[in-house]
A and B are shown apart, each in its own frame.
Chain A
Amino acid sequence: MTALLLLHLIAALGAPLLVRWWGRAAFLVLALVPAAALTWVLAQLSVVLAGGVVEETTSWIPALDLAVTLRLDALSLTIAALVTGVGALVLLYCARYVGPGEAGTGRFAGCLTGFAGAMLGLVLADDLLLLYVFWELTTVLSFLLIGGDGARLAGRRAASQALVLTTAGGLAMLVGLLLLGNASGSWLLSEVVADPGTGAAVTTGTLLVLAGAVTKSALVPFHFWLPAAMEAPTPVSAYLHAAAMVKAGIYLVARLAPGLAEVPGWRLVLIGLGLATMLVGGWRALRQHDLKLLLAFGTVSQLGFLMVLLGGGSRELAAAGLVMTCAHALFKSTLFLTVGVVDHATGTRDLRRLSGLGRQLPVVAVIATVAAASMAGLPPLLGFVGKEAAFAALWDGGLPDRTAAALVLAGLVLGSVFTVAYSARFLWGAFAGKPGTPPAEVLHPPGPLFLAAPAVLALAGLVAGPASPALEPLAARYADTLPLVAPEPEHLGLWHGWQPALALSAVTLLGGLALFAVRGRVHRMQERLAVGASADEGYWNVLQGLDRLAVLVTGTTQRGSLPAYLGTILVVLLALPGTLLVTRAPWPDEWRAWDTPVQALVGAVVLVAAVLALRIRQRLSAVLVVGITGYGLAVLFALQGAPDLALTQFLVETLTLVTFVLVLRKLPKDIAERHRGRERAARGTIAVAVGLLMGAVGAVALGARTATPVSVDFPEQAYDFGGGQNVVNVTLVDIRAWDTLGEISLLVVAATGVASLVFLRHRTGGVDRAEHVALRGDGGSRARRAPRRRWLAASATLDPQRRSVVLEVMTRLLFHPIMVFSVYLLFSGHNEPGGGFAGGLVAGLALVLRYLAGGRYELGEAARVDPGLLLGTGLLVAGGSGVAGLLAGADVLQSAIWQATVPVLGDVKLVTSLFFDMGVYLVVVGLVLDVLRSLGAELDRQDDEDDPIGLRPGEVVVR
């Protein structure tokens, strides 16, 4: 079964390609897929008839108890046969319905094939959540198919309406399924039905699931999406909105009825809504001019009928319902397909303009007449068998309550009268000659392939009527799971002797024909009885109300001020965790003054710097005092016993300062005060309160800490598994390597962001190399001839006034030792302070030195690579080393250690996490280089060339 579903998936994905190769003939191949499924399903018939079930389980997400559990029993077999059979024929029909080379055919074919698979999965799924997944899949595909290419406003509206309604019902259903699964203790549909449990949870869950079924099967008051969905091409209407998707709700009800029919509210909801739907749909079908809409309202009506039968929860009604479901799928898809043929041939579906078509398209007329007769319930068609069985069931039993059964029977008879009337209206409208209307012109007579699908479907309905006793074992296999109310079960068949049900059938037939005969008067009555509102308008009003509410809420909460938002967040922080902290927190019993007195001293300096940062309005000075807090922190780290942190903090602080200076040189010297006194007071209050809160949180958290830290085994693990002595470094590259991988990815994103904010045209500019420019100062040609007089490669490009020989000499002397040192830090980091982060930062500082001493061309000479390349390589190396662990048979990012004795080097110990650290190193260098190239070199270039955003000639910027 899983293989069949996969086959559908592959076919759906491959459909666009097939359509590109073979045009519309691809549908013929695609039709083979559901046909194969039909063959398989029918092959299981003997097993299922013998009382067996076919089951298949594939583990999917064991942690969530989610498995692909498929199960084929009598009910699923019946519906699956319908879904696959009609699906295959509809795809066949598409091969002639779509025009040759029509745009969007590939997408359409993929969606339709995918839908066939999703629908098959839906009826086979035995897992509650899997059922839901397929359920929503059909919803989404229906949305795509109704909307088409999205060119028509009405199509888009109809698609989104169907999506909103069925998804809303689907979400309610999901909650219901979860409740049912919890209450019954099983996530298998078959087990839930066998033993659903009791209590309020089951009742609530059942009603929520019914909400899903009711919306999906377009019952009142959600029926209106179905006629609107007729925007879709006719094959879609025939398949999704007549034979398959709308049957999903019916199927679900049929599936759950054996277990849940006695739940309070079940019968009330399903039979009440079903009857109302049957009458409303039939009544409205009587006044449609568009043949498709006529059929759509007819479908609504029939869905209500089916819901009454299958929701009734008795053996005899269920058997009738199952037969009626088959009959409906056969005749309704036939009718839709014939409408498609008529539409194709004449270019219209308006029954006021179609006249005398019966003579011109006799084959189509015969096919449609057979199907419509089945819809009207005429013998010897399958529709008659189903309807007769339903009437017979309700006459003697059907429902435990006799009064209710009588009322329901009366409703069904009235609904069936409407059905006969609109069936007649359909045939008359499509094929009859109408006096005063010129005969419709047949532009494209249909070919045999085009007629094959409707003909087969109509024939199936015709044959199945007399052959209905053969359906009995299958229907009984399902129906026997429900209690019998009538004295004895009625058998399926055309002739049961002279009995009341036959009389009722005759009544419906005569009543319907009479109603059709007086159609003029019926129309006038409809006009008089018209109400000024429809469910559809109600839907739009609800949506508009939602929209208004959204605007109101957004307008009230989003005031457009960042400080206000941040302030709100912080006030909530103070209000909730703050209150808890004051009222409930266990305050520490004892305190220490400090770890060492030096700590207090450094702390005082940091605090003073922080306060100064608030007062100083000169940009650079403010940055410097914030820098002091950073350096102070480095000292505190060192005091606490964290040399790696101290080193990193020191390097980063220096780099931050440089970056600030690079940008601040372009900004005004002072920061203007823009806040009124009252605002400052409010900010101050929040700030002090947050400060107190966080300080207290730190103390309370530490005081409350009693559990053994997870890191207590880290040193041992670091050496045994990570092969390193520096525990912090091994934690980064091994124990918590996933974290680090995420963090370096973030660095890549940040670096890319910096570059894209500065370079407006490209991700980065090209590398500015010195040989491309004429050297300034004493002339490039001489400098080129006498390279020995230069300390740096490109410093001659600088303005002589900006050059500093001391800096150049120092850079010349220091650059390479620093680079070597950075590599040393990288390699030794596993056992001593250092590592990829520190090494990369040191290398970055070396580049900073080159840039500061020699300008942007010097930077180009120092690092001739694109920063993006470094970042990407780094990420690749880090990720690749993780995969290497996987290839070596271990987990992702697990270290492997190789030890060997190499001639010259002696004992060499190689840990794979070293490569991970190299990736980190490259990413950090790339980040620094990107910052230098963007905020340094590119800003220089913009100044030099007076070109703020790299304008092309003739381009103008509008501000």
Chain B
Amino acid sequence: MAELTYRDAVIRGIAQEMTRDPDVVFLGEDVAKAGGVFKATVGLYEQFGPLRVRDTPISEQAIMGAAMGAAMTGLKPIAEIMFSDFFAVCFDYIANEFPKSRYMSNGQVKCPLVIRTGNGAGSRFGAQHSQSVENWCMMIPGLKVVAPSSPVDVIGLLAAAVRDPDPVIFCEHKSLYATKGEVPDGEIVDQLGTAKILRPGKDATIVALALMVPRALEAAEKLKAEHGIDCEIIDVRSLVPLDTQTILGSVAKTHRLFSVEENPRLCGWGAEIVSIVADEAFYDLDGPPVRITTPHIPLPAADILEDVVLPTPGRIVDTVRRSLGS
């Protein structure tokens, strides 16, 4: 057992898989010699050499296409798109190419690849370098979408993503890179499509993702200590496949549902979960499900503005407390 940062967990996860399988290769902008702009790939070039860890030009379409062509023909590429906002310049591959090739070819073409990307706000970078775009990807049939919140999950879910035969979008949260967590020694392999109950509770279910997970946990402590409300916190972790059973089971116990989402409100991932719970567990609910999200705005750059628009522990506490009428 060792304490590791989320950033170092990315390095360890990639290294674990590259050590295991010589067909795992890695490409992206500034990822090799420079070790990545977030320093989340430091040492991989030195460890695995220039044939397996490759710097690319600033050509997101070439990165995505190259990963796809390599995956179709037998490699297991990991590609980095530096900021998830840049998905917009290579969205053809995310929306049209690698998720649809298996279906359109009637199963002939396989696309086992992982796209890692720096996602989310908190760095005061403004509207084009701060977005949470997991919901852009969630709506596309054929993709899998993962967003870990802790170092141990980074390693385990990255390993699962690399070993998965489908294309996986792996959202790393930029504001979590410096956070730390306990990580066991040895190989770590997790399972896609599994949510985790991080804190059991009986009064309300709060589902959260990535940076919103520690905020929900902090809110839960306050709600318990100051208001006597006992919240169950679920880290959704994997949007596709989605572990609805864990969520429905929790709602059956607590009878209330809250989502905490960093993505802007419209068509955020929480809307799908609320819809599923409304369809399938309506009579378990003692009150309306409530979504706590970033408003439907581009993100402002200024620190005091950005801090106000993202869901905070304070906003979560207030929303849950008001909804439960205490």
Are A and B associated in one complex?
no
